[in-house]
Amino acid sequence: MFEFIKEFFIEYNDMFPVIMLSLKVSLTSTLIASILGMVSGVATALNEFKLKRTLMRVTNTLMSLPPVLIGLLVYMLLSRKGPLGSLGLLFSPTAMIISQSLLVFPIIFGLTVSNISESAKEIQLTCMSLGASKNDTLKAIISECRMQLLSIVTAGFGRAISEVGAVMMVGGNIKAKTRVMTTYIALETGKGNFNEAVFIGIVLLFISFFINTVLYRLQRRE
């Protein structure tokens, strides 16, 4: 048994950096997109302005944007001749984080606006009637809607960790540098190494299962 585990680890040694990088890139981009998306989402939910409907229609479109398009956009921005080319970020994890943040932001923003608008207004009125500052009101709304927001963040993370197109284009799938789970699966499948591909696929499923279990537990505790 021990031998088996040892062999297993040796054989699959090169997969762990891949898994770690996947988690790092997707968690970071989800965090960035969540903070920006929630704050702007709550602000949009609370205010009525002229172009709100148009904004939401655009957001809904962006929510289903193919990752390769984001990849293309970020690629053009970061490529040597692009406006941000001097930063030399193309084919780096940072480029992947930028792409995934852009990919996840519309999801967090859009779902926040559509899911919490009604309760956010109610909470805002009550907070104001009790003399809360704007900051306190924002905090109260986020804290009161935490369960909805947590599901939204999970949806955003699911999108990030499972996409191939953007990380492939701006990361380049470079071994030990920008290779993540999804690009690994694509590559190994292409080479006919189904075992490795399936293993990583199972890891992906497991991560998603784990996150959903945590979420379920939290929801039940409420």
Would you give the distance in Å from CA 170 to the centre of its chain? 16
Least distance in Å: CB of 209 to another protein?
27
76-108 burial, b for 16+ CB within 10 Å, e for fewer? ebbeeeeeeeeeebbbbbbbbbbbbbbbbbbbb
Least distance in Å: CB of 144 to another protein?
6
Cα separation, 101 vs 98, whole angstroms: 5
Give the residue with the Cβ less far from another protein, 100 or 137.
137
| Amino acid found at 161 | I
Provide the mask over 124-153, with x wherever binding to another protein is found by CB under 8 A and - wherever it is not.
-xxxxxxxxx--x---x---x---------
Least distance in Å: CB of 111 to another protein?
20
Give the residue with the Cβ less far from another protein, 47 or 129.
129
- How many chain residues touch another protein (CB under 8 A)? 16
Least distance in Å: CB of 116 to another protein?
13
Among candidate residues 149, 216, 161, the one with its CA nearest the CA of residue 30:
161
Strand, coil or helix: 47: coil
Residue ranges that bind another protein, judged by CB under 8 A: 119, 122-123, 125-133, 136, 140, 144, 222
